[in-house]
Amino acid sequence: MRVLIIGSLAGELGQAGRIAMARGAKLDQSDNIIAALVRLRGDARIDLVLCDLAHDIGALVRALADERMAVPVVACGTGDDPEAAVRAIRDGAREFLPLPPDPELIAAILEAASGDSHALVVRDPAMAATVRRAEQVAASEASVLIHGESGTGKEVVARHIHRRSRRAGGAFVALNCAAIPENLLESELFGHEKGAFSGAVARRIGKFESADGGTILLDEISEMDVRLQAKLLRALQEREIDRLGGALPVRVNVRILATTNRDLLAEVANGRFREDLFFRLNVVSLRVPPLRERPGDIAALAEHFARRYADVNGMAYRPLSRPALTRLLAHGWRGNVRELENILHRAVLLARGEEIGADAIELGADSGQTGVRRADIGGAANGGDGVAGLVGRRMEEVERDLILHTLGHTLGNRTHAAVLLGISIRALRNKLRDYATQGVAVPPPAGGVGPAGVAA
């Protein structure tokens, strides 16, 4: 993925950039917001902006919105001022990154922005058959429709196809059609000319042009509006696109991959997806089986995540014990690989001893979501005797439960939890480290995403 830093690389912001590069990101830098906007207009491959608080975060966010550029902004600054995060979020930043930077938090932010959270790990024959089929068609120019349940690894398969294709030296540009508002999606895909709409102060290159010579992935394409599907169909048929407000078509040389977690034929029957577009995309169909249908992958993926999150958290790798593996193999995996990843991240943090034991493998609907028993929270939310229920408990316990319950409420988003609690992000994270050391189940930093699509 590509990260644009706005500010000097000489200090702690530069350190954040180097950590991002060590995690596989490609780095661009601009000295100010004006230069950054020029860079963003010319390259839609930039996935994330890290902006120093010395610059006007609100002005940057407003300019991006006016020009219909859906690029998440992370504000960066020292965590000593508890109001800094609040101001950054109020100004429109998706997240606040305290400096000096924390490698774990940067890794979580990068993963959420890129969507590429794990490698292609295959042991089960069912998944191996899918990968063989993917590799068989990778060298062709055919469009590929990859379908399967959420969390199975469809984007990982798409990236594998690109790496094995003749376009591997070109760009791989991914766009999540479900995550971008309808009024921004057309501009994101096709770009626009100056004056195309209010706020279009200059030409902007879209995803298709930025992927020229490479591959574009349209993730969750079933969520695309039918009107925009017609324009996409023309791009596939004619190999040219029309920028918003453009007078002439622009030729593009792009291979299209698409993913969906829906039954597209049923969507066609219901009038929500164009039949002609379906057949254009479905030249080759790949089904990524759910994790429950590929049990042979569970142990290999679990070991992969155990190694990965040990490294991310600066911990020594510990193997999974046999009882731990037995628990994993017996689980139903409704959330597929994404659920397994989150459980292993938590297990790495909670495990004691030289192995990851079964007691660190928290399964079930409520496992590890807040680390708090409902009975401990009291009945205040339901209008009961919540305060009376706190009598007799130690202050430290009440504080811990409040913090963890709030974190569960924000789905692991540290910054928003800190804002709700009225404490600094650094104070919150220090407390969470203490709780984890004590063996308390702490939700991992949004292995999912914050409200606007960026991890916390």
Q: Which residues pair with 259 in a beta bridge?
A: 146
Taking residues 410-429, what's their average pLDDT? 73
Domain assignment of residue 57, yes or no: yes
* Choice among 304-318, 369-383, 428-442 with the minimum mean pLDDT: 369-383
pLDDT of 80 strictly over 70: no
pLDDT bin (cut points 50, 70, 90) of residue 112 is: low
Domain assignment of residue 452, yes or no: no
Cβ pair 378, 387 in contact under 8 A: yes
Q: What is the pLDDT, as a whole number, of residue 446?
A: 55
Computed from CA positions of residues 96, 100, 103, 104, in that sequence, does the dihedral angle turn out positive or negative?
negative
Q: 209 and 279, same structural domain?
A: yes
Q: What is the pLDDT, as a whole number, of residue 43?
A: 87
CATH number of the domain that 168 lies in? 3.40.50.300
Domain assignment of residue 446, yes or no: no
CATH number of the domain that 300 lies in? 1.10.8.60
Q: 224 and 352, same structural domain?
A: no
pLDDT of 120 strictly over 80: yes
Taking residues 103-119, what's their average pLDDT? 67
Q: 225 and 254, same structural domain?
A: yes
Domain assignment of residue 450, yes or no: no
pLDDT of 49 strictly over 90: yes
Taking residues 415-428, what's their average pLDDT? 72
* Choice among 21-25, 59-63, 73-77, 438-442 with the minimum mean pLDDT: 438-442
Residue type, 168: A
Taking residues 189-204, what's their average pLDDT? 92
Domain assignment of residue 454, yes or no: no
pLDDT of 448 strictly over 50: no
pLDDT of 36 strictly over 80: yes
Q: What is the pLDDT, as a whole number, of residue 202?
A: 93
pLDDT of 103 strictly over 70: yes
pLDDT of 11 strictly over 90: no
Count of the separate structural domains present in the chain: 4
| Interior/surface letters 208-236, b for 16+ CB within 10 angstroms, e for the rest | bbbbbebbbbbbbbbbbeeeebeebbebe
Domain assignment of residue 99, yes or no: yes
Q: What is the pLDDT, as a whole number, of residue 386?
A: 46
Q: What is the pLDDT of residues 126-160, one digit of tens each?
A: 999 999 999 999 999 999 999 999 889 999 999 99
| pTM reported for the whole predicted model | 0.69
Q: What is the pLDDT, as a whole number, of residue 91?
A: 86
Q: 223 and 110, same structural domain?
A: no
Q: 432 and 318, same structural domain?
A: no
Q: What is the pLDDT, as a whole number, of residue 302?
A: 94
Structure tokens at 154: 């469809």
Percent of all residues in the chain with a pLDDT value above 90, rounded to a whole number: 50
Among residues 240, 262, 289, the one where a domain terminates is: 289
Q: 304 and 260, same structural domain?
A: no
pLDDT of 81 strictly over 80: no
Q: 347 and 310, same structural domain?
A: yes
pLDDT bin (cut points 50, 70, 90) of residue 191 is: very high
- Classified as helix, coil or strand, 119 is coil
Cα–Cα distance measured from residue 420 to residue 88, given in angstroms and rounded to the nearest whole number: 15
pLDDT bin (cut points 50, 70, 90) of residue 370 is: very low
pLDDT bin (cut points 50, 70, 90) of residue 424 is: low
Q: What is the pLDDT of residues 206-244, one digit of tens each?
A: 999 999 999 999 999 998 989 899 999 999 999 999 999
* Choice among 11-20, 192-201, 228-237, 423-432 with the minimum mean pLDDT: 423-432
Q: 418 and 270, same structural domain?
A: no
Q: 136 and 99, same structural domain?
A: no
In terms of pLDDT, which residue wins out, 392 or 332?
332
Q: Could you tell me which of 257, 224, 251, 220 has the C-alpha nearest to residue 235?
A: 251
Cα–Cα distance measured from residue 356 to residue 323, given in angstroms and rounded to the nearest whole number: 9
Contacts of 6 (CB under 8 A, 6+ apart): 29, 30, 31, 32, 33, 36, 49, 50, 51, 52, 55, 60
Domain assignment of residue 202, yes or no: yes
Q: Is 91 exposed, middle or buried (0-12, 13-18, 19+ CB in 10 A)?
A: middle
Q: Which residues pair with 244 in a beta bridge?
A: 192
Q: What is the pLDDT, as a whole number, of residue 258?
A: 97
Q: 257 and 172, same structural domain?
A: yes
Cα–Cα distance measured from residue 190 to residue 44, given in angstroms and rounded to the nearest whole number: 10
**Rg (the chain; Cα; Å):** 23
Cα–Cα distance measured from residue 313 to residue 102, given in angstroms and rounded to the nearest whole number: 10
In terms of pLDDT, which residue wins out, 101 or 4?
4
CATH number of the domain that 15 lies in? 3.40.50.2300
pLDDT of 57 strictly over 80: yes
Taking residues 22-28, what's their average pLDDT? 84
Q: What is the pLDDT, as a whole number, of residue 100?
A: 85
Q: 325 and 260, same structural domain?
A: no
The mean pLDDT of the chain is 84
Among residues 322, 343, 368, the one where a domain terminates is: 368
Q: What is the pLDDT, as a whole number, of residue 342?
A: 85
In terms of pLDDT, which residue wins out, 14 or 277?
277
Q: 260 and 375, same structural domain?
A: no
Q: Which residues pair with 218 in a beta bridge?
A: 175, 258
Among residues 351, 368, 385, the one where a domain terminates is: 368
Domain assignment of residue 449, yes or no: no
Cβ pair 188, 206 in contact under 8 A: yes
pLDDT of 273 strictly over 70: yes
Parent domain of 334: 294-368
